[in-house]
Amino acid sequence: MIKIKINGKTTEVEEGTTILEAAREIGATIPTLCDHPMVKPVGQCRICVTEIKVKGKSKIVTACNYPIRESITINTKSTKAQNERKLTLEAMLSRWPNVKPIQLLAKAAGIKKAPYDHPNKTEKKETCILCGRCVRACAEGIWENIIGFAGRGNNRHVSMPFEEQYERCVGCGTCADVCPTGAIKISDEFNNPLDGALISKWGTKVTEQMATLDPSQCRMREVGTANIIDVMSEYDLLPTHNYKYGTHEEAPKIYSNVFRDNFIRQNIDDGCWLGCAMACAKAADNFKLRTGPYKGTCVIVDGPEYENAAGLGSNMGIWEPWAILEMNFYCDTYGIDTIGFGTSGAFAYECYEKGILNKKRTGGLELKWGNSAAALEMLHQIARGKGFGVTVGQGIKRMKEIFAKKYKADKKLMLDIGMEVKGLEFSEYVCKESLAQQGGYCMAIKGPQHDEAWLIFMDMVNKQIPTFQDKADALHYFPMFRTWFGLMGLCKLPWNDVTPTGNELTKEPHKIPEHVQGYCKFFEGMTGIKITPDVLILQSERVYNFQKVFGLRLGKSTWEYDVPPYRAMGPVTIEEYKSRQKRYDDQLHDNLKFDPKKIKKMSFDERVKILREYKFDQYSKLMDAVYKRRGWDRNGIPTDKHLKKLGIDFPYVMEAVKKARKRVTERPKKLDQ
C-alpha cells in the first residue's frame, strides 16, 4: 500500500493503482472521454490530465494510465490541469460542436461556445471524434482487430481493411456499444430480432463484465477452462487414479500456466464465435505428434479443456502435458469422447493395478498409473477396433460385466469403482464431499455430466446450500436453466463464470439476478414476448419431463438408474479412507456423534462400513427431496398431477408413465448396491 494525497485528502492505495482509479475510490471526479471499462487506458484524449507532485516536482500527467508507484500529491482541480483540459476541449468543440459528450465536458470546463472555426468542422450530432474506443474494444475486448485507424492528420478515420466490408466482421456490435457518440450503427441484424437494441444493451454489459472481471476471476480469456485444473487440485477435487484421490504431488506439472507458457496461443479470437468476449476455446499450435498414423506431423490441437487434462491426465496418473495434448488431438480426430475415454481408461488402469487385468489380458499393455505410452496405444486400438481397445471402447458398464464374467472380478468392487451411471462415464470432478454434486451427476437424465448441475463449490467449499431442501431447489433450478440454454442454442458459460460486483454474497448464488434477467431480456428481444424467470424455468420443465418420459418408455429412468457408484460418495477401500483419515474420522464424530476415543479403537474396516451406510442414507434422503421438488414420486416417476400442471399429459405420455409404475421395483429404505 502507498500513501498518497488527493485534493488535500490523504489515503492509501495498492501499488499500480492508476490516479483515475484512486480518485474514484475517494469520490473525486476527473473527466474522461476515451476511457472505458472494457479496454486498457491509453491517455489518448487527454481530457483526464491532472497535476501531480513527486519529490517536490510538479508535472501534468494523464490520470487514466498513470500507475502510482510512490507517494505523490495529486491535484485534480489545479489551474494548470484545468487550463490544459480547457485547451483540448476548445479544439474538440470547435471541430465537433454538436456532439453531446463533448458539449457536456466543455460546459463542465466553463466553455460556453466554440472559440474558433475549425477547418474540419462538422455539424453532425453523431460523428466520429477519434477517441479510439471502438478500435481498442475490437482488439482488446473481443480480440478481433477488424477495425483500425487509417490516414493521417485531418484525414485520420476509423476503417475496415481497404475501406471495404471485412468478411470476418459478424456484427457483434461491440464497437457500436462502446462508441460515445452513436457514430457506429448496426446496419443489419441477420437473426432478425424484434428488438435488437434490447439484446445489444444486455450483450454489452456481459462483454464488459467478461473483459474486466474474468482476468481476476476465472481467467477463461487467458487459459480457457484449463484454469479449473489448478482450482480443483487446490480443493482436493481433481480426479486422480480413477477418482480415488483429489490431488497429487505431481499435479502442478499439468497446471494451466504450463499449457499457457508452452502450448496455448494467446490474445487472438478462438474460433468458437467471433463476437464472444469470453474467448475460452484455446488451441496449441505447431504441436508435433509422437505416435499414431500422423506421427511426425505438426498439427493444431483444439485444447486443452479442463476435462481433457483431468480425464486424459490426472485420472490415469499421467502428468505429461504433451501426452494429454496428443490424446486430445487423436480423440478429436477419431471422433472419440475425451471424457468417456479418460474415465474408462482410468477404470481399466485401476483394474490392472488390482490384478484383475494383466499383460496377457490386455495384449501386452502395461496399464500402470502414469504410463502414457499404454494409454495412447489403447486409444489407437479403440480407433482401429483391435486388441484390448475393443474392450475399453465399450465403456465401463460393459467392462464391469466382461471383467466379472471373464476374469471372475468381484462384482461389488466393480460396481463401487466403475464411475458410470446410466451407461455414461462421469465427467472429471471428485464429488465425494459434495452431496449436491452427487445428485447433480446421478439424477441427471442424460447421465453424470456436470453440465446439468455443477454444484461442488456452492455445496462443499462455500457451504451455501446446507439443507436437503436447499440442495433439492438447486438440483431443480440448475438443470432447468441448463436445459433452457440448449433449447435456445446459447452458451452456458457467460451465465455464471463471472460474478458482477455486489452479487458475491447473494442468498441464491445459483440465481444471480443480473444474469437471469439478462436471458429474459434476450428472449424478449428475439421474440417480442416478455417472460419472467419463472416462465423461463417452466419452458424447460416441460421439455425436461418429456425427456424423462422418453426414458421411461425405454424401460429406464426410474430410481435405480439414479444411484451412484460408491466411489462417487465415499472411500471404497481402506487405502482411500487413510488418504483422508482426518476428514472421515471427523465425519464419524460430527455427523454420527461417535466419540473420538471410540473411533480410534475401531478397525478401518469398521469405519469404512459405518461411513458407507451413512453416505447411502444421506443420498437416499436427497433423492426424496429432489424427486418431490421435481414433481416425481418416490421411485422417480412424474406424478399425473405434475404432468397435467405442465400441460404435457398427452395420452401416450400418461400411458408410458402408467406402464413404468407397474414395472418399477419399489425403492428400498436402505439404498445400497
646 shares a domain with 539: yes
Looking at residue 507, its pLDDT comes to: 46
Element (H, E) at 74: strand 73-75
User: Is residue 112 one of the residues assigned to a domain?
Assistant: no
User: Is residue 220 one of the residues assigned to a domain?
Assistant: no
E strands within 416-474?
420-421, 424-425
Looking at residue 509, its pLDDT comes to: 44
Return the closest-CA partner of residue 282 out of 299, 297, 301.
301
Section 463-490 average pLDDT: 91
Domain of 323: which CATH number?
1.10.569.10
User: Is residue 144 one of the residues assigned to a domain?
Assistant: yes
User: pLDDT above 90 covers what percent of the chain?
Assistant: 71
Residue 253, CA distances (Å) to 262, 314, 329, 471 in order: 12, 10, 19, 35
Task: Note down the domain range covering 175.
Answer: 126-188
Distance CA 19, CA 69 (A): 11
168 shares a domain with 48: no
pLDDT at 23 over 90: yes
409 shares a domain with 363: yes
Predicted confidence band of residue 268 (pLDDT cuts 50, 70, 90): low
Domain of 33: which CATH number?
3.10.20.740
482 shares a domain with 389: no
Q: What is the pLDDT of residues 87-124, one digit of tens each?
A: 999 999 999 999 999 999 999 999 988 989 888 899 99
Max avg pLDDT among 19-28, 157-166, 503-512, 581-590: 581-590
Q: Are 68 and 82 in contact (CB under 8 A)?
A: no
Within 8 A by CB and 6+ apart from 538, the residues are 646
SS3 246: coil
**Which has the minimum average pLDDT: 232-241, 503-512, 595-604?**
503-512
238 shares a domain with 170: no
469 shares a domain with 596: yes
Predicted confidence band of residue 215 (pLDDT cuts 50, 70, 90): confident
**Which has the minimum average pLDDT: 10-14, 144-148, 311-315, 604-608?**
144-148
Q: What is the pLDDT of residues 559-572, one digit of tens each?
A: 999 999 999 999 99
Distance CA 22, CA 626 (A): 49
pLDDT at 510 over 60: no
Q: Which long-range contacts (CB under 8 A, 24 or more apart) does 510-513 make?
A: 510/455, 510/458, 510/474, 510/477, 510/478, 511/477
User: Is residue 518 one of the residues assigned to a domain?
Assistant: yes
| Amino acid, single-letter form, for residue 145 | N
User: Is residue 197 one of the residues assigned to a domain?
Assistant: no
Q: Are 448 and 421 in contact (CB under 8 A)?
A: yes
* Mean of per-residue pLDDT scores for the chain: 91
Domain of 140: which CATH number?
3.30.70.20
462 shares a domain with 528: yes
Return the closest-CA partner of residue 327 out of 267, 247, 388, 383.
383
Q: Three cell numbers at 234? A: 487446490
Q: What is the pLDDT of residues 291-341, one digit of tens each?
A: 999 999 999 998 888 999 999 999 999 999 999 999 999 999 999 999 999
User: Is residue 163 one of the residues assigned to a domain?
Assistant: yes
59 shares a domain with 147: no
613 shares a domain with 494: yes
Looking at residue 506, its pLDDT comes to: 45
Domain of 600: which CATH number?
1.10.599.10
411 shares a domain with 321: yes
Within 8 A by CB and 6+ apart from 655, the residues are none
Give the CB-side neighbour count of residue 327, counting CA atoms within 13 A.
33
646 shares a domain with 502: yes
User: Is residue 118 one of the residues assigned to a domain?
Assistant: no
Q: What is the pLDDT of residues 629-666, one digit of tens each?
A: 999 999 999 999 999 999 999 999 999 999 999 999 99
399 shares a domain with 266: yes
User: Is residue 619 one of the residues assigned to a domain?
Assistant: yes
Q: Which of 425, 440, 465 corresponds to the end of one domain?
A: 425
DSSP 466-500: -SHHHHHHHHHHHHHHHHHHHHHT--SHHHHSS--
pTM value > 0.75: yes
Return the closest-CA partner of residue 96 out of 71, 74, 126, 134.
126
pLDDT at 592 over 60: yes
Radius of gyration of the chain (CA): 30
First to last CA, the chain: 58
If one compares 449 and 209, the residue with the highest pLDDT of the two is: 449
Distance CA 61, CA 81 (A): 9
How many separate domains does the chain show?
A: 4
**Which has the minimum average pLDDT: 127-131, 491-495, 533-537, 605-609?**
491-495
> How large is the angle between the packed helices 581-590 and 604-630, nearest 10 degrees?
70
User: pLDDT above 70 covers what percent of the chain?
Assistant: 95
pLDDT at 613 over 90: yes
